[in-house]
Structures are given as structure tokens and as C-alpha cells.
Structure 1
């Protein structure tokens, strides 16, 4: 979780809408956004583009907004980008409260190296957790050091950060250790050649 000081963002209320206005905002270095949740009416704001662009590089970023002099804790729920230029076009922000438990998808990060000659197949790149809104982990690590072919790691096997509980089904496959098909084919070919040599020798 980032420190409190670097997640404070001053948001400007906006009353104008439409693609043209949104384009002008982006040209001025701002990002259109909407704040919703907790039974409140949606609030449309403009965010400082450079600062927010850096903050949302991490998954499930929590922003401490100041809107018209009021503090508002929000979770980045959706980031819409231009598919070609990757410019941030719009952000959806969900109102959260300190101490509140929320469901988030957290990236899975593989660490270590599996047994020589094997590969690590990451079947699910994220896992769903229930965590406190202000203590969202950046990732969940899976240690594959020395694991051999045929090893399966499920969601239930993951070591979760303190205070987090698993939402994903426990039997969901996260990582599988395997030997590349090409290696198997080479092994079979070598076995066949050895058998042919033995037969010829007889």
C-alpha cells in the first residue's frame, strides 16, 4: 500500500460533459473521472493527468481525493484507454471507507525458478481477495523454487497477506509445472533410437 502522502489528489468538479469537453480536458493535461458508490449520486470531476497516471500504474490504486474542500477516499475501479495511443480517456472511482472490506482482483507474481528443464504455466494471472480498502496488497507471490513437473498450486495453497481472505474458489488452478512438449518429443525420439540400436546389436 502506498503511503498516505503520495495518494492525495486534488480533483476539480466539472459540470460540462460530452466528448468535445473531455478532449479539451485531456489536452489540458487532465483526466475526466466519475466518483460513485455508497448510495451517493455520481460526481463528475477532472483529475491531474500526470500525477494520477503514475498512481494508477499499480493495480487497485486508492486515491485520497480532495473535492470542493471535502476529503473522499476512492478506489480506481476502471480505467478506459484509447486502444491505439494508450491515452487515459476516463476513470471510474468507487467510494470506499477506511476499515471497509472490499473485493478486489490482485495480480499473481511468480518468484523463484522451477526444477531444471521445466516451465511454469500461470493459469490465472489474478486472484480475488477480500481485504480492507486501505490495505490492498499490490500482488500475491507464488514461490516455485525447485518445483518439479506435475506440481500444481491452487488458490487455496497461496500465502495471503495478513488480513486478506480468499474469494476465488480454493481449487482454482494458479500455477502448473510442466516439461515443454518439445522436450518430451526429443526424449521419446532418443528412447526410440536407443531401442533401435539395441535391436540392431542383437
Structure 2
């Protein structure tokens, strides 16, 4: 799994004034929680570019004063006016302790319905899951090989060993819909039969 390394400095001062000072220096205030202790730190805004602005699920290795924390991105806030990164929350990965994260879906295979002239429509792009840190992966593969025309692949059809999917099981992930051209061809075939 892809890991982004972020080097930061521990924060000693807190409050609005200290946070404004950190942001004015091009730094982003951050917090790591979920482990033995809550750690507040700051790091340059540029260090988060490859972690924040991507659809991929990645781990973050945060290095602070010689100590390394393995984390996942949990939450982030942006400035409402400038749209710059204002704050990031990380969740520390602790072996043997389940974490809830959002993993992207990767559609694999060729649908029978698409081969027959239908159009693949992807309804959701990610799943909320709960797993141990060792079972986390970059994405969840969803096969559409058996997907027929007007058929759906639902959350309940996803096979992900050692991962508990938290989304409702009836939600469709992808479906193959009939195109306008295919409907017109079927309608003209029906009128020829009569």
C-alpha cells in the first residue's frame, strides 16, 4: 500500500492566536488521535498535497522528533474563503484495534450487459469499512463479469475477506442500463413482428 511520509514539528502553544501564527507561516495544524496519546503538531501545507488531493486510499507516516506514527487521514477542514487546508485529523493505526475508513471501489471485468449494448453506470465510488490495520488495502475490487442488462451489483455482492462493510447492503454500486439506441432497436423489432 502506498505510504506518504510527512515530517512535522510538535506544537507547544494552542489557541486561536497560536493557530493563526502557524497558518501564516504556511503550516497546517494537525492532530493524531486513537493511540496511547493525542499528539498535536504542524507541518508544511505542501507536504499534504499527495495525501489530500487524490482519490486513492493511502497511509501516512508522520515523523515527529524522531518518533514515527502510522496513521490514516480521518478528517480535514478547508478555509471557507481561501479554500486552503486549515486543519487535519489523523487516526493512529494500532495493531489489533479496528479502524473505520473509506476505501475506493475499483470496478473490474467486462459486463455481459455492456457487451449487449447497455451502458455501465457507477452509483458509488467508495465504501465505508471497518478492519484491522493489517487488512487495509488500497481499494476494494468489485467484479461486474456477471452483470446483465438492467442488472445491479449491490453492496451485499462485494467479497472482501476480513473487512466489515458498513454501508447498507441493498445500495447499488453499479448497474447496466439500456441505452436509448438499444430501446429504439427493440421497439422497431417489436413493430416489425406485428
Q: Normalising by structure 2, what TM-score? A: 0.75
Cross-structure match for 1:176: 175
What is the RMSD computed on CA atoms of the aligned residues?
A: 3.1
User: CA 1:24/1:111 → structure 2, altered by over 3 Å: closer, same or farther?
Assistant: farther
Deviates more, 1:95-104 or 1:20-29: 20-29
Cross-structure match for 2:10: 13
Counterpart mapping for 1:49-60 below 5 A: 49-56=45-52, 57=54, 59-60=56-57
Cross-structure match for 1:31: 28
Cα drift, residue 90 of structure 1: 1.5
Contact 2:35 2:94 in 1 (8 A): no
User: CA 1:109/1:60 → structure 2, altered by over 3 Å: closer, same or farther?
Assistant: closer
SS where residue 44 of structure 1 aligns?
strand
Distance 1:43 1:172 in 2: 37
In structure 2, runs of 5+ residues without a counterpart are: none
In structure 1, runs of 5+ residues without a counterpart are: none
1:103 alignment partner, one of 96, 100, 104: 100
> Alpha-carbon deviations, 1:43-98, whole Å to 9, x = none?
33112332322134354533222334433332210122346765322111123313
Contact 1:58 1:138 in 2 (8 A): no
User: CA 1:85/1:118 → structure 2, altered by over 3 Å: closer, same or farther?
Assistant: farther
Cross-structure match for 2:122: 122
Are residues 1:70 and 2:67 paired?
Answer: yes
Contact 1:151 1:176 in 2 (8 A): yes
SS where residue 7 of structure 1 aligns?
strand
